[in-house]
């Protein structure tokens, strides 16, 4: 029962964050500044998610594998320009690096 209540709370908390902007700007138009800013925000958020998912540490030896994996993904993507190859190839090689080293 307690678990189900916790899940309901999480559903509400999550959906508040998703529906809020659509409710606020249902009638009125967002300002020009807000529109311009929102064009740049996706890129800013994406790079933040990359940074967050890479554990950055001053001690390079402890997370060089994840850096190596990231470089592989970038090289694969710039070479083939196919998201599938970049993600699958990158993850596969990263697992291999983890297994070997």
d(CA 68, CA 24): 43
Helix 83-100 and helix 60-80, axial crossing angle in degrees, nearest 10? 150
Cβ of residue 61: shortest distance to another protein, in angstroms?
A: 17
> What's the token pair of residue 62?
């402890």
Q: Is residue 37 within the footprint of another protein (CB under 8 A)? A: yes
Q: Is residue 75 within the footprint of another protein (CB under 8 A)? A: no
d(CA 62, CA 77): 25
Q: Is residue 39 within the footprint of another protein (CB under 8 A)? A: yes
User: What residue ranges bind another protein (CB under 8 A)?
Assistant: 2-3, 5-7, 9-22, 25, 30, 33-34, 36-54, 56, 66, 69-70, 73-74, 77-78, 83-84, 86-88, 90-91, 94-95, 97-99
């Amino acid at each position: 029962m307690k678990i189900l209540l916790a899940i309901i709370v999480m559903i509400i908390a999550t959906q508040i964050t998703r529906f809020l902007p659509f409710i606020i700007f249902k009638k009125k138009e967002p300002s020009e500044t807000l529109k311009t800013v929102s064009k740049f925000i996706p890129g800013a958020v994406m790079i933040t998610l990359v940074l967050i998912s890479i554990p950055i540490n001053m001690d390079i030896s402890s997370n060089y594998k994840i850096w190596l994996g990231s470089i592989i993904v970038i090289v694969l993507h710039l070479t083939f320009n196919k998201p599938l190859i970049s993600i699958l190839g990158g993850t596969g090689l990263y697992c291999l690096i983890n297994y070997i080293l």
